[in-house]
A and B are shown apart, each in its own frame.
Chain A
């Protein structure tokens, strides 16, 4: 009964999504106010029914209703309650329902916070989002119904993939989807602006906070995924260039470019066509990611069970959404006029370079991800592109980007002087070089110098960020008071940029100085690594809720004092009998000690192969990403979006270029 109710709610949500798409849009063209007014109630209703469907599926998981195929495939009575609840998004059908629910929430957020938008514009934005929702709900109902029943229910379910039974993974998909789907808002704004032919700085100002929030969620989602892979996959890496990771990274790169070009469009009234294109691309890549993951065209650790009919549906949907919006762009773009000119050396041109580098980076990731597919299509043989390709290309593109990142916020809008700019920054330049050399030399000696490029860049970004705050305070009599008058968005930007510096330090130092050792350990054997003393106490068998584990105990000492006791585990989950490595990690800000249990080496000695890593500064990678996300939140909370939104209402046409700051 409950699953049928969920199915029914899903169909009703689809019907409301159709209404939400058709009537408001037609209403704005035919000037039928009643039709335009349908937009908001339809969005609320759609979210209501999506929530009902989602709740029904969750209920089926909680009570272990194995007559529902999806529940039988992804749950088990032995599974702890919290994992039964999150199992809802553990497979294709349920995660798609989460996608649709997330879209419903974003639409309602737009409906609630768009009262100061022109009525027709809000209606069109909601209508475009409704169109996206129709596609996904049709996909759900036609090819991927999570409420399908089995004719005879099995006694127990197949269980959730043990890899996914982990706290890190509870939050990863919702965050990622919030990011993916969040770009649909900017996309809808862009399409609306193209339809009405009105691309002004007001449009950019409305889009910015939505882009920022979506970008923050995507950043957090990717970071969580990386963190999860680090401790759960058991070999201490944090990024693998897996097709599905790339699928989430591409919208992030374009989203980052979009954030920067929106700033130019808002403040300088230029880059307009480019910004609209980026807004379309960011969401298109989110959809492409969905296609890649769910169609089975590429193989990956994350790939869902593939089904060609599903692939065809998403491809068709991708074609309609992206094709239509790009056609709209092709039609309108030639008539877009940029009013704010700028010279070769200016903040605009630096931001343009930033955009080009980010877009090229995204294109190279796309190429690397799809290259095997291209070759295969041409019958040119079959290959896989490994991390070496991505590492090389990325290094090459990111170095100039990081150098520019330091200069950008200090350059003047419209026109600057290159010589003056360099002269102005000469001390910071020298200090970055000097400290980049001295700091690693001081701590590590000659062999520390391998991290010079990364550290110098990190110092450069930090110094220039601080400098840009200082320049804001120049000529102010009361500097402390002036500090509080700087807009939050400026602090947000500065913090995010410092986050990049922290991230760069983490990547550079952990890559250069991580040490690892594979050892055969018998009980009470001791060894030294990276200045720590390890004592292997032995391995014992421990039962878990739905697995049995071999749990090792390793005491870590430094200078004769106890640092920590670690318990890495080797688990065998009872239902899927899949062996899982659960590493144990001792974390401080400056280093991780990471131990994972290998294989028993046989014999009566109780010997095991054990892998020990010492990873300096690895936390800084995620810390940097976190700072970027916090910076994004700060920017989105900038007072000016609220103030201007309020002030804007009567002067919607006015396209003043007076906004400076």
Chain B
């Protein structure tokens, strides 16, 4: 009897998780980080492990912080777009190389081009956890005061860039003195 009910029971548990999963939309824009100072980190750089990268790097300019990994297929799909951004705009892009092997990651950059100014090498995913990275790729917009203004989960697309990210960056650049507390305007969802 128990054996006969087991599949139903397993399915019931699975459904509960799937239901919770629906509430936890991975593309959620309401990250708790939005409008807060970027979580502190201090990590060796991927390209040169004798140097470090920390959140101070974001000071003074509006930048993108992109979490990626060599094993992440979606990241490779996103990669050409980051290359275009790096070549055609002056927006600095920093990378968070997430749970990766340095050799593999460097190979990808060498092969497909490197759009990043520098990469924080987050081998065990600690930094990613502090930043609330669900999966790769994810991209954060950090303003000139080091405040996180926007988070995009999943690959950037032309549409997302044109409709959301680029206008936001333009707006942030035009209001250089806005500080973290004064910024009540939500980034467009």
Residues of A whose CB lies within 8 Å of any CB of B are: 233, 235, 237, 240, 242, 273, 277, 280-281, 284, 291, 295-301, 303, 306, 308, 311-312, 315, 318-319, 322-323, 326-327, 329-334, 370, 372-374, 376-377, 381-384, 386-388, 518, 576-581, 598-599, 609, 611
Given that A327-B8, A329-B7 are known contacts, is A311 also in contact with B134, CB under 8 Å in the complex?
Answer: no
From B17, B73, B132, give the contact of A370 (CB < 8 A).
Answer: B17
Question: Beyond the given A237-B73, A330-B7, could you list 12 further A-B residue pairs with CB under 8 A, ordered by the A residue number?
Answer: A242-B73, A291-B18, A296-B26, A298-B26, A299-B27, A299-B134, A323-B11, A370-B14, A376-B24, A383-B99, A384-B136, A580-B80
Given that A329-B7, A330-B5 are known contacts, is A382 also in contact with B133, CB under 8 Å in the complex?
Answer: yes
Chain A hits for B110, CB < 8 A:
518
Chain B hits for A299, CB < 8 A:
26-27, 74, 134-135, 153-155
Given that A329-B7, A377-B20 are known contacts, is A383 also in contact with B76, CB under 8 Å in the complex?
Answer: no
* Contact status B72-A386, CB under 8 Å: yes
* Contact status A308-B25, CB under 8 Å: yes
From A273, A312, A388, A576, give the contact of B22 (CB < 8 A).
Answer: A312
* Contact status B71-A388, CB under 8 Å: yes
Q: Residue on B with the closest CB to A609?
A: B113
Chain A hits for B80, CB < 8 A:
578-581
Chain A nearest CB, measured from B104 CB (Å): 11
* Contact status A373-B8, CB under 8 Å: no
Mask, B99-118, CB within 8 Å of A = 1, is 10000000000111100000
From B4, B15, B111, give the contact of A329 (CB < 8 A).
Answer: B4
Chain B nearest CB, measured from A309 CB (Å): 10
* Contact status B112-A598, CB under 8 Å: yes
Chain A hits for B7, CB < 8 A:
277, 280-281, 326, 329-330
Closest A-B pairs by Cβ, 10 of them:
A333-B4, A384-B135, A386-B71, A326-B8, A299-B154, A382-B134, A297-B21, A240-B73, A377-B20, A579-B80
Q: How far, in whole Å, are A281 and B113 apart by their CA atoms in the complex?
A: 44
List 10 A–B pairs whose Cβ atoms lie within 8 Å, in order of A's numbering: A233-B76, A295-B22, A297-B21, A297-B25, A323-B8, A329-B7, A370-B17, A373-B21, A384-B135, A599-B113
Q: How far, in whole Å, are A372 and B19 apart by their CA atoms in the complex?
A: 14
Q: Residue on B with the closest CB to A388?
A: B71
Q: Residue on A with the closest CB to B87?
A: A599
Chain B hits for A579, CB < 8 A:
80-81, 83-84
Chain B hits for A370, CB < 8 A:
14, 17, 21
Q: Does B3 contact A (CB under 8 A)?
A: yes
From A281, A323, A377, A599, give the contact of B24 (CB < 8 A).
Answer: A377
From A233, A322, A377, A383, give the contact of B135 (CB < 8 A).
Answer: A383
Chain A nearest CB, measured from B106 CB (Å): 12
Chain B hits for A240, CB < 8 A:
73
Chain B hits for A374, CB < 8 A:
17
- Range class of the B interface residue count: 35 or more
Chain B binding surface SS class: helix
Chain A hits for B3, CB < 8 A:
333
Chain A hits for B24, CB < 8 A:
297, 373, 376-377
Residues of B whose CB lies within 8 Å of any CB of A are: 1, 3-5, 7-8, 11-12, 14-15, 17-22, 24-27, 69, 71-74, 76-77, 80-81, 83-84, 99, 110-113, 125, 128-129, 132-136, 153-155, 157-159
Chain B hits for A377, CB < 8 A:
17, 20-21, 24
Q: How far, in whole Å, are A327 and B113 apart by their CA atoms in the complex?
A: 54
Q: Residue on A with the closest CB to B153?
A: A299
* Contact status A330-B22, CB under 8 Å: no
From B1, B15, B134, B159, give the contact of A315 (CB < 8 A).
Answer: B15
Chain A hits for B132, CB < 8 A:
382
Q: Residue on A with the closest CB to B76?
A: A235
Q: How far, in whole Å, are A386 and B104 apart by their CA atoms in the complex?
A: 13
From A281, A306, A372, give the contact of B134 (CB < 8 A).
Answer: A372
Chain A hits for B72, CB < 8 A:
384, 386
Chain A hits for B11, CB < 8 A:
284, 322-323, 326
* Contact status A296-B25, CB under 8 Å: yes
Chain A hits for B134, CB < 8 A:
299, 372, 376, 382, 384
Given that A311-B22, A326-B7 are known contacts, is A301 also in contact with B77, CB under 8 Å in the complex?
Answer: yes
* Contact status B25-A373, CB under 8 Å: no
- Which of A284, A376, A581 has the most chain B CB atoms closer than 10 A to its own CB? A376
Chain A nearest CB, measured from B152 CB (Å): 11
* Contact status B125-A383, CB under 8 Å: yes
Chain B hits for A577, CB < 8 A:
158
* Contact status A599-B83, CB under 8 Å: yes
From A301, A319, A332, give the contact of B15 (CB < 8 A).
Answer: A319
From B17, B73, B84, B157, give the contact of A373 (CB < 8 A).
Answer: B17
Q: How far, in whole Å, are A370 and B24 apart by their CA atoms in the complex?
A: 13
Q: Residue on A with the closest CB to B1?
A: A334
From A303, A308, A312, A598, give the contact of B154 (CB < 8 A).
Answer: A303
Q: Residue on B with the closest CB to A375?
A: B134
Q: Residue on B with the closest CB to A163?
A: B77
Given that A297-B18, A303-B154, A333-B4 are known contacts, is A382 also in contact with B129, CB under 8 Å in the complex?
Answer: yes
Q: How far, in whole Å, are A308 and B21 apart by their CA atoms in the complex?
A: 10
Chain B hits for A323, CB < 8 A:
8, 11-12, 15
Q: Residue on B with the closest CB to A326?
A: B8
